[in-house]
Amino acid sequence: MRVAIVVARFNDFITERLLEGAMAALADEGVGADAVDVLRVPGAFEIPMAAQRVAETGQVAAVICLGCLIRGGTPHFEYIASACAHGITAAASATGVPMAFGVLTTNSAEEALERVAPGPAHKGREAAAAALEMARLFAGLGDGRS
């Protein structure tokens, strides 16, 4: 099974940990690094476009979307969070490829760090597990992408 991970560079002190957790979860499920395409984008706003583009290739069974938005003093947070969430949903619907939402939306860096702490609640691991579960479900329905 081939999987893509689209990861934002913005707030990389968090997104790199999300990526590490996702890769570890994939490895635990027998998906080797050679079957994973990692695409880096500037920020969360760019995740949906890259996710849709890689899904449109027909080469991946799932896309794991990873990013981190930390609330600031302006409404920018809400606009980007909304655009990212709606964009990923639209991309998954348009392509029929499962896309896991591993984009943190937190009030502080401390909250973000809590969500990437080692353990079963690691949000990168959770996103990877969800993507694999959906890819396997779709493959069982005759999707043909696995």
Catalytic one among 9, 76, 94, 108? 76
DSSP 37: E
Pick from 88, 89, 84, 116: which is nearest to 19 by CA? 116
**DSSP reduced 3-state for 108:** coil
User: Phi/psi at 63 (nearest 5 deg)?
Assistant: -125, 130
- Confirm if 63 and 4 have CB atoms less than 8 A apart: yes
Dihedral in degrees, nearest 10, Cα atoms 87, 89, 91, 96 = 180
- Does 122 participate in catalysis according to the annotation? no
- Confirm if 22 and 33 have CB atoms less than 8 A apart: no
Residue with tokens 């583009």: 53
Active-site annotation, residues: 76
